[in-house]
Amino acid sequence: MIAEIICVGTELLLGDIVNSNAQFLSRELAELGVTVLHQHVVGDNPARLRALVQEAKDRSDLLVFSGGLGPTADDLTKETVAEVFGDTLHFDAEEWAKIEAFFARTGRRPTANNRKQAMVPTRGRKLPNAHGTAPGAWFEDAQGRAAALLPGVPHEMKAMWTEDVRPILEARQNCTIHSMTLRVLGGESDIASRVAPLFESANPTAAIYCKTGESEIRVTARAANRAAAEAACRARIEEFRAILGDNAYDVDVPGLAYTVVRTLRERGLQAATAESCTGGLVAEQLTAVPGASEVFGTGFVTYAAAAKTRLLGVDPALIERCNVVSAPVAAAMARGALAASGADLSVALTGLAGPGGALPGKPVGTVYLAGGDARTGCVHVARLNLCGYGDRTIIRARAALQALDLLRRMALGLAPVNAVTLAPGQQAPEL
Amino acid sequence: MIAEIICVGTELLLGDIVNSNAQFLSRELAELGVTVLHQHVVGDNPARLRALVQEAKDRSDLLVFSGGLGPTADDLTKETVAEVFGDTLHFDAEEWAKIEAFFARTGRRPTANNRKQAMVPTRGRKLPNAHGTAPGAWFEDAQGRAAALLPGVPHEMKAMWTEDVRPILEARQNCTIHSMTLRVLGGESDIASRVAPLFESANPTAAIYCKTGESEIRVTARAANRAAAEAACRARIEEFRAILGDNAYDVDVPGLAYTVVRTLRERGLQAATAESCTGGLVAEQLTAVPGASEVFGTGFVTYAAAAKTRLLGVDPALIERCNVVSAPVAAAMARGALAASGADLSVALTGLAGPGGALPGKPVGTVYLAGGDARTGCVHVARLNLCGYGDRTIIRARAALQALDLLRRMALGLAPVNAVTLAPGQQAPEL
């Protein structure tokens, strides 16, 4: 099946918004095994729209539209597509009642213009809109060429796609699709080379998306039913995990902080943070997870050297002797955070996020990460070399990600990455 | 002048990436007074590309391409556009030397395929690429219809656009353009209604972009030269500021934290943070600004009630009596942060970010914000009602923005918004 995507909206042509709808629809169609050869953006001009729809219909089996379903007189997408597909529109009392009820809930009344939105295909079918006023539309000609008209508002569009359009296409493609996303610490090139054969499979497919310091591997299976598609995804994910090991940290979570909060909760552990160069980013990411209060109570942002001494009890002589950006100071911060918070685990960060401030032997991007474990009295300390990965924002983000990973590893009893482990009372070496 | 944008790339058709290039180019063209009626995405297929280029050239004065300039055999955009514009390509020794030098810097050698990238227009002209290997191309036919071919990598594309293509178009439009962005606290609908007449002007134009809790007003002036365009922008920005007052906080900055850091530095003030519901977000935003260490040394993330007592000295009886989410506790946190840090100014936040945890009379989204001022001993305290604006992420982001604004207002001596001001020692009322 060949499809094209047509997005209607002046705000796209003016560059006021980025076309995230085209990306969403393209990815969904690819996963269904539908080939997308063209994407277009046009305005609300009926002549230009008609020319484009006719041309697209001549070469493709399916046209997917987003936008142009609004109530104003120049929103003519539905009328134009109906004409090209040889269909007409009629007034639908049920949709009109829904529109009136929608307005009533917000204390308003629909205008005469809104009646346009209650016009639905005569030979085709309407697509209910669970999240807004305008129903979508499905048109189909005698040759089986079809058009799906969806709203432009992303959350309305996505809901209508998932609930109404994708099931039609799954039925036509004679399959059900299911996707799962495995999250893996490390860069795309590292990962891709180790699991290359798994990316060549046609079903399940796998695609890798590079994020800061980690990658997402999205596995999509097509099968006769949902259970079989899910099972195929899960089996493929296990193959990835077998190769990628501990770095593959979770499936279908928004990010590492979610995995850390869940792991801490499962193990009944409390964590604390002591941050210098990341300035609160680790605490912010942990507390962005609903329910974080069960596992996190205290964070210290000790940006100044004096704050490291005052809040965490770091010896000023140690700072003087080793420099504030050093392994011994990171270790002392981690120990101080445990003592000052009463938590079971701590992570501490001190480093050079730039742009200025490089030291001899310590370029911008040098970060010391320490993890304290009150259960054993041990402290793990590592030097992260994040130079060359990007600017201040990237350095901070990568350092925070490593800190979350250290918390995860301590909670699970996994070995920390490239870290020196200090016994209780032992001072850290220079790293 | 009528333009269309053609982006070439399979990764766009598969939905692997979002088409941010189309947005950038559309906005730039709009600012130049060029009308964009179509955007397209196509793959590297020469037949489909040729058909599209021919059609686009028949109806538009200017075609702007991004992508398709790579070294592989199926990157045929340059060859295809040359053919439609009646031009040919020839090998350019200077570009080839640049490509060889680029590879040498990274310890590699170009392959024979890369020679394709050194092919440049014969009648048209090459566009130098300051940031990558592939030069761009400018084609023009006898009727003055033109095509600009730019790389797909966004930073290479933007640099080539700004340095090479925009000056050509400014010359054709007989003008220079300049843009300035005013940042304003508050929602788009509030702001737009107050300054509506200023948006109707044709030159300078103004466009408003809604962000979380604030808006950007982008003013773009066209004039005969740069100085005149800048002066026209500045004058229009002053008109906006005159209407919008204190809420218009800065021009051409990445965000409010930059304004706060600069203001604190100018006034020689140190700030501290005490965060519960925002969990470190305010500290993280302040320390994201290079040079923040001059004005920020200490932040407390007191997510648990016990941490508020231990780190900030908040009386447990006060927490027990008033609830941890209350104006008196926020005020005590702000006072405690001043005492524990030695800073001049503090902000403190305690609230319900959700999704669960609503209290009688305090729905999710209720946040108490306090600001302490060591110079006067006064504390400002306000209740923020952020229910209905969105989820946990939005509530936290809006609360953090209000906290930064309170720091700004205290530093500048402006009145805080909707706040009660407490004298030294005075306890906060319930709000």
Determine, for residues A27 and B12 on separate chains, whether the beta-carbon distance falls below 8 Å: no
Calculate ∠ Cα A66-A72-A73, nearest 5°.
105
Nearest to B383 by CA among B314, B308, B323, B330: B330
- Chain B residues in contact with A27 by the CB 8 A cut-off are 14-16
For the cut 90, the answer to whether the pLDDT of residue A229 exceeds it is yes
Nearest Cα residue in chain B from A52:
B38
Distance CA B101, CA A117 (A): 60
Partner B contacted by A50 (CB < 8 A): no
| Best mutation target, A275, A298, A347, to test chain B (most B CBs within 10 A) | A298
The DSSP string of A351-388 is E--SSS--BTTB-TTEEEEEEEETTTTEEEEEEEE-TT
- CA distances to A9, A19, A154, B152 from B17, rounded to whole Å, are 20, 11, 16, 11
- Asked whether the beta carbons of B81 and B149 are under 8 A apart, the reply is yes
The DSSP string of B149-197 is EE-SSHHHHHHHIIIIIHHHHHHHTT-EEEEEEEEEES-HHHHHHHSHH
Could you report the per-residue pLDDT of A41-68, keeping only the tens digit for each? 999 888 999 999 999 999 999 999 999 9
Q: Which residue's structure tokens are 């996707």?
A: A179
The pLDDT-based confidence of B375 (bands split at 50, 70, 90) is: very high
Determine, for residues B15 and A25 on separate chains, whether the beta-carbon distance falls below 8 Å: yes
Calculate ∠ Cα A273-A275-A281, nearest 5°.
85
Give the per-residue pLDDT at A359.
94
Q: Stretch B375-394: mean pLDDT, rounded?
A: 93
Give the per-residue pLDDT at B292.
98
- Asked whether the beta carbons of B319 and B306 are under 8 A apart, the reply is no
Give the per-residue pLDDT at A294.
97
- Chain A residues in contact with B22 by the CB 8 A cut-off are 12, 15, 18-19, 41
Q: What is the pTM of this model?
A: 0.90
Determine, for residues A298 and B301 on separate chains, whether the beta-carbon distance falls below 8 Å: yes
Alpha helix (H) residue ranges in B364-391: none
A-B contacts at Cβ under 8 angstroms: 219
**Which residues 281-340 of chain B have a CB within 8 Å of chain A?**
281-284, 286-288, 290, 292-293, 296-304, 306-307, 310-311, 340
- Residue A363 burial (CB count, 10 A): 15
The pLDDT-based confidence of B193 (bands split at 50, 70, 90) is: confident
Q: What percent of chain A has pLDDT over 90?
A: 82
- Asked whether the beta carbons of A271 and A407 are under 8 A apart, the reply is yes
- Chain B residues in contact with A310 by the CB 8 A cut-off are 298, 340-341
For the cut 90, the answer to whether the pLDDT of residue B345 exceeds it is yes
In this structure, the strands spanning B146-150 and B136-140 are: antiparallel
- CA distances to A85, A368, B31, B300, B369 from B381, rounded to whole Å, are 62, 38, 43, 18, 6
For the cut 90, the answer to whether the pLDDT of residue A295 exceeds it is yes
For the cut 90, the answer to whether the pLDDT of residue A209 exceeds it is no
For the cut 80, the answer to whether the pLDDT of residue A366 exceeds it is yes
- Residue B54 burial (CB count, 10 A): 12
Nearest to A403 by CA among A274, A317, A296: A274
- Mean pLDDT (chain B) is 94
Nearest Cα residue in chain B from A342:
B307
Give the per-residue pLDDT at B384.
96
| Best mutation target, A301, A347, A349, to test chain B (most B CBs within 10 A) | A301
Give the per-residue pLDDT at B360.
94
Could you report the per-residue pLDDT of A145-162, keeping only the tens digit for each? 999 999 999 999 999 999
With H, G, I as helix, E, B as strand and everything else as coil, classify residue A35.
strand
Partner B contacted by A176 (CB < 8 A): no
The pLDDT-based confidence of B190 (bands split at 50, 70, 90) is: confident
Q: How many helices (H) and strands (E) does chain B have?
A: 16, 18
Task: Note the Cα B402 to chain centre separation in Å.
Answer: 18
- Residue A307 burial (CB count, 10 A): 24
Q: Which residue's structure tokens are 């982001």?
A: B397
The CA radius of gyration of chain A, in Å to the nearest whole number, is 28
With H, G, I as helix, E, B as strand and everything else as coil, classify residue A417.
coil
Determine, for residues A37 and B14 on separate chains, whether the beta-carbon distance falls below 8 Å: no
Give the per-residue pLDDT at A107.
77
Give the per-residue pLDDT at A384.
96
Give the per-residue pLDDT at A134.
85
Nearest to A311 by CA among A325, A296, A301, A321: A301
Could you report the per-residue pLDDT of B65-122, keeping only the tens digit for each? 999 998 877 788 999 999 999 999 999 999 999 988 888 887 788 888 889 999 999 9
Give the per-residue pLDDT at B109.
83
Nearest Cα residue in chain A from B6:
A40
Nearest-neighbour CA in chain A from B38: distance (Å): 5
- Chain B residues in contact with A292 by the CB 8 A cut-off are 279, 303
Nearest to A400 by CA among B288, B399, B353: B288
For the cut 90, the answer to whether the pLDDT of residue B38 exceeds it is yes
Secondary element (H or E) of residue B417: none
With H, G, I as helix, E, B as strand and everything else as coil, classify residue A298.
strand
Q: Stretch B155-183: mean pLDDT, rounded?
A: 93
User: A248-287: string of b/e by CB count within 10 Å (b at 16+)?
Assistant: bbbbebebbbbbbbbbbeeeebbbbbbbbbbbbbbbbbbb
The pLDDT-based confidence of B192 (bands split at 50, 70, 90) is: confident
Q: Which amino acid is at A430?
A: E
With H, G, I as helix, E, B as strand and everything else as coil, classify residue B284.
helix
Nearest-neighbour CA in chain B from A287: distance (Å): 5
Distance CA A431, CA B76 (A): 51
Alpha helix (H) residue ranges in B323-385: 327-341
Determine, for residues A300 and B302 on separate chains, whether the beta-carbon distance falls below 8 Å: no
For the cut 90, the answer to whether the pLDDT of residue B210 exceeds it is no
Could you report the per-residue pLDDT of B348-373, keeping only the tens digit for each? 999 999 999 999 999 999 999 999 99
Give the per-residue pLDDT at A208.
86
Distance CA A87, CA A84 (A): 8
For the cut 80, the answer to whether the pLDDT of residue A187 exceeds it is no
- Distant-in-sequence, close-in-space partners of A210: CB < 8 Å, separation ≥ 6: A187, A188
Secondary element (H or E) of residue A27: helix A20-31
- Residue B16's Cβ-side half-sphere holds a number of Cα atoms within 13 Å equal to 13
Partner B contacted by A118 (CB < 8 A): no
Could you report the per-residue pLDDT of A158-170, keeping only the tens digit for each? 999 999 999 999 9
Q: Which amino acid is at B382?
A: A
For the cut 90, the answer to whether the pLDDT of residue A319 exceeds it is yes
